[in-house]
Amino acid sequence: MNSYIKPGDNPLLTEERKKCQFSTDILAAFYHENAQKIKRRHEIYQYYLENKELHDPEPTEFMDRYHRLENAERKVSLLKKHVKKAGSPLGLHYTMMIPTILNNADDEQKAEWLPKAQNLEFIGTYAQTELGHGTNLRFLETTATYDPKTQEFILNSPTTSAAKWWPGNLGKSSNRIIVVARLISNGKDYGPHSFFVPIRDPITHKSLPGVTVGDIGPKFGIPTVDNGFLLLNNVRIPRRNMFMKNAKLNPDGTYISPKHAKLAYGTMVYVRAVMIRTMSHMLGLASTISIRYSAIRKQGEIEAGKGEVKVLEYQTQQYRLLPQVARAWAFEFAGRYTRKLYAQFLGGDVDVLPALHGVSSGLKAVVTHQTAQGIEQCRMACGGHGYSEASGLPQLFATAVAGCTYEGENMVMLLQSARQLVKIASDVRKNQKPTKQNPVTDYLYKTSAATKCKIDQTTDPDPSSVIEAFEHVARRLTFAAFDKLEQLKQRGISAENAWVQCGVDLRRAATAHTRTFIARQFSNGILEMRDLPVQAVLKDLLQLYLFYEVLECDGDLLYDGYVIGQQIEYSKNNVYEALRRLRPNAVSIVDSFDFNDRELNSVLGRRDGNVYENMLEWAKSSPLNKHDVMPFHHKYLGKMMEDARQQSKL
């Protein structure tokens, strides 16, 4: 029932696929939400295969940044002709420019800007972070001073540290951007607001008067994105270029406050809510690459004389890789929840914003961190070839790990999530009931139902016993942090300083709370699956996820005796049992992520498993190998060795 088998595939991979005990098509449709999306994915891939102009002229790993950016822009300009969604030089256009217009533009502005943005008549980005400030938005320095005489804003970067710094596609691609600047009107500073600012001529693409813009240089990864810098010197824009759906400014300069103080932060909440799926996909890509490769890589005999085995036979290899598959599924289910909540907010339910901010902050931090860790684990589990750019894993890691920083640095986001927990703890301590139902936090109002955990020795462990254990830990850590805050304040320490002195405890509580949320979403998410063989695979993945997480937080569980050592032993056995049950289907489970060879961009993870011959082809295509002897060899090493030989004759 594995539809990924094709003639000419590596027989070691085919034998894996022949063991498949479920429908990969059904599991793939469940992961991507429906069969129609799978069909569309295959159409796009087929179209890509048929249109050679969409292919890279050579492996991009061998290109310098200049040619990588040029190649990316070339493909994007072609993609516009072919498919709606485009690639990296438009990344920020789709993930932030358009959502900001949807989120912050009033109807008239939407009518003017949205069609042009969707039709790619301009390219935009979201320029908020400055050289001197990224987290602390209240201290952003760029100013937008209103001139009622001309009904214009004058934008300025008052200092060097006010330079916008990092926005993706700002350096060379974008020409109409969102600038987040302090709104100053009639001498009053209203703090950061969003403005629609042309920075390059629409025809010549030259930077406009008063605009200094460029690329910030090479980064840890993501070489095809021109993250840029921007300095503004008395750049004038019409009053109506301030996004006015939420806050407004009248022609005479009077300010009208938004319904909710944080509506201006909506785009960031949007990206945090939707990037969870992107992270799930990245972890799915890495586990596809590493599990396919582990199924064809033979190394070492288990029993002497019986021949080398696939490294996937080692329990340690399964323990390194299969939990990443389980987490990719867990993050997909968690991301569905935050996307649904965001849709509710975008539909006009502003009241949902605090809950959405609370859950998306913690989720973004935990998911990006575990995704990056997981990709690195997959890379390391592929030995030397995992370290080669041919594997696709180094670039995948470098791209994913940026998610720990952008859209709100992870530590800061966990502390934002902790704000919500502390407020609830305060309510509980005052015996106040929740003002409105929130399935994510309601458990905090309950005392731990059982004083003892229900994890026991069984072949069919009950997920609720683990979720209750996670709730117990999150509650304990939340109230411990809250009580410590209160004690510090009672000793006369300010609330702000108490908060800083409890930072690590607060971060731990937020992490435990987020773990509980993800586990619950995963457990609920698989209930929709009606096909029994697929349901069995999902139950094994859930079991692996839950008990792997138990082992990750065993100290917190044992801390107050809620769990005893024997139950940790049961949990280990549940992990090993899940690995054993998942092993025969491992390749088919990652096949069901349905990532094609273009998305995988990996010699190790190719669908056909023909790694070695393609590894050699890949290496031979390196520009270095156009020369048998490098042109500079005799100038340096050759001369050095010749001199040494002459020297030794003396």
Ligand X SMILES: CCCCCCCCCCCC(=O)SCCNC(=O)CCNC(=O)[C@H](O)C(C)(C)COP(=O)(O)OP(=O)(O)OC[C@H]1O[C@@H](n2cnc3c(N)ncnc32)[C@H](O)[C@@H]1OP(=O)(O)O
How many other C-beta atoms are found inside a 10 Å radius of the C-beta of residue 81?
9
Q: Quick one: what does residue 411 bind among ligand X, ligand FAD, none, with the CB cut-off 5 to 8 Å set by partner type?
A: ligand FAD
Question: Which of the following is catalytic: 407, 471, 549, 599?
Answer: 407
Q: Quick one: what does residue 222 bind among ligand FAD, ligand X, none, with the CB cut-off 5 to 8 Å set by partner type?
A: ligand FAD
Structure tokens given for 166: 């990092």
Any known ligand binding at 168?
A: yes
Does position 284 interact with ligand X (CB under 6 A)? The reply is no
Least Cα distance to 559 among 517, 512, 504 occurs for 512
C-beta of 164: minimal distance to ligand X in Å? 10
Q: Quick one: what does residue 137 bind among ligand X, ligand FAD, none, with the CB cut-off 5 to 8 Å set by partner type?
A: ligand X
Does position 412 interact with ligand X (CB under 6 A)? The reply is yes
| H-run or E-run covering 181 | strand 176-185
- The verdict on whether 468 is a catalytic residue reads no
Cβ 474 vs Cβ 516: under 8 Å? yes
Q: Which is nearer to ligand X, 25 or 486 (CB)?
A: 486
Q: Which is nearer to ligand X, 247 or 553 (CB)?
A: 247
Q: Quick one: what does residue 581 bind among ligand X, ligand FAD, none, with the CB cut-off 5 to 8 Å set by partner type?
A: none
Number of residues counted as binding ligand X (CB under 6 A) = 29
Cα dihedral sign for 105, 109, 114, 120? negative
Q: Which is nearer to ligand FAD, 231 or 453 (CB)?
A: 231
Among 21, 34, 51, 135, binds ligand X (CB under 6 A): 135
Q: Which is nearer to ligand X, 41 or 419 (CB)?
A: 419
Q: Which is nearer to ligand FAD, 154 or 401 (CB)?
A: 401
C-beta of 306: minimal distance to ligand X in Å? 47
| H-run or E-run covering 164 | strand 164-165
Does position 353 interact with ligand X (CB under 6 A)? The reply is yes
How many other C-beta atoms are found inside a 10 Å radius of the C-beta of residue 386?
22
Least Cα distance to 292 among 303, 282, 284, 281 occurs for 284
C-alpha–C-alpha distance, residues 216 and 227, integer Å: 6
Q: Quick one: what does residue 399 bind among ligand X, ligand FAD, none, with the CB cut-off 5 to 8 Å set by partner type?
A: none
C-beta of 94: minimal distance to ligand FAD in Å? 12
Cβ 181 vs Cβ 192: under 8 Å? yes
Amino acid, single-letter form, for residue 546: L
C-beta of 415: minimal distance to ligand FAD in Å? 6
Q: Which is nearer to ligand X, 265 or 443 (CB)?
A: 265
Q: Quick one: what does residue 76 bind among ligand X, ligand FAD, none, with the CB cut-off 5 to 8 Å set by partner type?
A: none
Q: Which is nearer to ligand X, 73 or 130 (CB)?
A: 130
Q: Quick one: what does residue 95 bind among ligand FAD, ligand X, none, with the CB cut-off 5 to 8 Å set by partner type?
A: ligand X
C-beta of 628: minimal distance to ligand FAD in Å? 39
Q: Can you give the three-state secondary structure of 458-480, one letter per residue?
A: CCCCCHHHHHHHHHHHHHHHHHH
Long-range CB pairs of 463-466 (<8 Å, 24+ gap) are 463/519, 463/523, 463/542, 463/543, 463/546, 464/523, 466/519, 466/546, 466/547, 466/549, 466/550
Among 407, 505, 540, 591, binds ligand X (CB under 6 A): 407
Which region among 31-39, 58-66, 265-273, 313-321 touches ligand X (by CB under 6 A)? 265-273
C-alpha–C-alpha distance, residues 5 and 17, integer Å: 7
C-alpha–C-alpha distance, residues 260 and 641, integer Å: 73
Tokens 């002459």 locate to 646
C-beta of 411: minimal distance to ligand FAD in Å? 4
Q: Quick one: what does residue 417 bind among ligand FAD, ligand X, none, with the CB cut-off 5 to 8 Å set by partner type?
A: none
C-beta of 266: minimal distance to ligand X in Å? 7
Which region among 54-62, 134-142, 309-317, 571-579 touches ligand X (by CB under 6 A)? 134-142
212 SS3 class: strand
Biggest distance spanned by C-alpha atoms of the chain: 94
- Per-residue DSSP letter, 200: B
Binding mask 213-232 for ligand X (x = CB under 6 A): --------------------
Structure tokens given for 207: 């930077």
C-beta of 514: minimal distance to ligand X in Å? 15
Among 81, 138, 149, 626, binds ligand X (CB under 6 A): 138
C-alpha–C-alpha distance, residues 37 and 29, integer Å: 7
Nearest residue relative to ligand FAD (C-beta): 134
Q: Which is nearer to ligand FAD, 405 or 457 (CB)?
A: 405
Among 113, 337, 397, 406, binds ligand X (CB under 6 A): 406
Q: Which is nearer to ligand X, 239 or 272 (CB)?
A: 272
List the interface residues with ligand X, window 86-125 (CB under 6 A): 91, 95
List contacts with ligand FAD (CB under 6 A). 92, 125-129, 133-135, 166-168, 222, 227, 402, 405-406, 408-409, 411-412, 415
Q: List phi, psi (to 5°) of 175.
A: -130, -20
Structure tokens given for 494: 């300010």
Does position 435 interact with ligand X (CB under 6 A)? The reply is no
List the interface residues with ligand X, window 610-649 (CB under 6 A): none
C-alpha–C-alpha distance, residues 124 and 168, integer Å: 9
Does position 408 interact with ligand X (CB under 6 A)? The reply is yes
Least Cα distance to 318 among 47, 528, 575 occurs for 575
C-beta of 419: minimal distance to ligand X in Å? 4
C-alpha–C-alpha distance, residues 7 and 83, integer Å: 30
Q: List phi, psi (to 5°) of 363.
A: -65, -45
Taking CA 641 as the corner, what is the angle to CA 638 and CA 647, rounded to the nearest 5 degrees? 140
C-alpha–C-alpha distance, residues 117 and 113, integer Å: 6
Tell me the CA distances in angstroms from 408 to 103, 268, 361, 403, one per residue in order. 19, 8, 8, 9
C-alpha–C-alpha distance, residues 608 and 104, integer Å: 47
Cβ 219 vs Cβ 229: under 8 Å? no
Judged by the rule CB under 6 A, the positions of this chain that interact with ligand X are 91, 95, 126, 128-129, 134-138, 168, 262, 265, 268-269, 271, 274-275, 278, 353-354, 357, 406-408, 412, 416, 419, 423
Q: Which residues are annotated as a binding site for FAD?
A: 129, 168
Q: Catalogue the active-site residues.
A: 407
Q: Which residues are annotated as a binding site?
A: 129, 168
